[in-house]
Amino acid sequence: MSERLRIGEVLLLREAIDPWLLSRTLREQTSGGQRLVSTLIAHAHLDPDDGALALSEQLGYPAMLQRHFERRDPDVLSAIPAGLGQRWGVVAIGRARDGGIVACAKTPTPILAAALEHACKLPVALSVAPAIQLDRLVRAVYGDPAPDAKFETPPSIADIGDVRVGEHRPSLRRARSVSDLFVSTGPGRAPVRMHSTQTFDEVLDEIDRAITRAAADRYVMAYAARRWRAALLMRISDGKAVGFRGHGAQLVAVDAVSLELSGGSLVAQAYVTRDLATSAGSDELARLLGEARSPIAAPIAIADRVEAILAVGDPHLGDERDAKKELARLVDALGAAYARGERVR
């Protein structure tokens, strides 16, 4: 078995961090201090999602991204006893398709997964996220620990007894998120949203100040979750529009969405014309957007190149014409944010 890449090497290979910033951070780090990914996030040098995906590629476990944290299911939090959650730095996030739970840990291992199953009497699917996020969430869920509590103690065979751990060994070959692990929560459960009181102009200001593409994407999608019943943000890759952020009752596995850019589909129209495209809800995109009556697909471009497409369903309230104007302004601001990020590279 080849030696595992260091996390700094993974970040460089993924082009998630400037080499100079990485080198400076490594020089300034003190021994026994904060983990590298968490340090980079704390200094606004790395987007949390990029950090999670890098950890996923290094460790072989799916990444828990910001949108998954924002939509965590409060009904499953008690599945992991507080003492174990505090001790092992792990939190249950949602219900898995196999009837178990999807949990997130800063140090996922096969033994940890087996230990949790032994303690919870449920199947456990582990994922990974930066320690800085997990530490905050552990405190929020379980409260402040006792003064002598230890968080870095990994479980051992002695913790779980006679339990087989082979089936928990990760087989992931590339970074991916946990989207396909979750069971649908149905249209009755609203996601937890950030910046829910911001006005539209304030959201545009946030996008203009975003220092990474992922940060700009999150501001757009946080607003879209309030404005439209369903929304889907797709990257252009190998002749297809591939989903990577979204919300809506039909969008259980956003990462699995892949739409062709050929033919007369709504997404293809937006891509070819480089302009907003609308329809009467007659194609696959309309179904994904909750059987939307009047879905809209809007291209996000850098110069003459379409980088992504933002598609929305029916607005929650208000005039559809006003919603369309807002969508045009959102993708214009997002395109500018993408262009800024490209110039910085």
Full pLDDT tens readout for the chain, 345 residues = 346 788 988 888 877 888 888 888 888 876 556 789 999 998 888 888 889 888 988 998 988 888 788 778 888 888 998 888 888 889 999 888 778 899 999 899 998 998 898 888 889 999 999 999 999 999 888 887 666 655 445 555 444 445 454 555 554 445 566 665 765 443 333 333 444 567 888 888 888 878 788 888 988 998 998 899 999 999 999 889 999 999 988 887 888 899 989 878 899 999 999 889 987 556 788 899 989 988 999 999 887 789 999 999 999 876 777 888 899 889 988 988 888 766 544
Rounded CA separation 149/166 (Å)? 30
Place of tokens 């545009």: 204
Domains, the chain, in order of start with CATH, read: 7-23+34-181 (no CATH), 200-344 (3.30.450.40)
Which tokens sit at 64? 């828990």
pLDDT digits (tens, 9 = 90+) for 220-244: 998 998 899 999 999 999 889 999 9
Return the DSSP state at 228: B
Pure H helices in 177-307: 200-209, 213-227, 266-273, 284-288
Which tokens sit at 71? 């939509």
Rounded CA separation 108/154 (Å)? 9
Q: CA-based Rg of the chain, rounded to a whole angstrom?
A: 21
Q: Confirm whether pTM is higher than 0.85.
A: no
How would you class 277 by CB atoms within 10 Å of its CB: exposed for 0-12, middle for 13-18, buried for 19 or more?
buried
pLDDT of residue 21: 86
- Contact criterion met (CB below 8 Å) for 51 and 40: yes
Pure H helices in the chain: 7-13, 19-28, 36-42, 48-59, 66-70, 82-88, 110-120, 131-142, 157-160, 200-209, 213-227, 266-273, 284-288, 320-344
- Beta strand pairing call for 101-105 and 124-128: parallel
Four-point Cα dihedral 113, 115, 118, 122, nearest 10: -30
- Contact criterion met (CB below 8 Å) for 47 and 215: yes
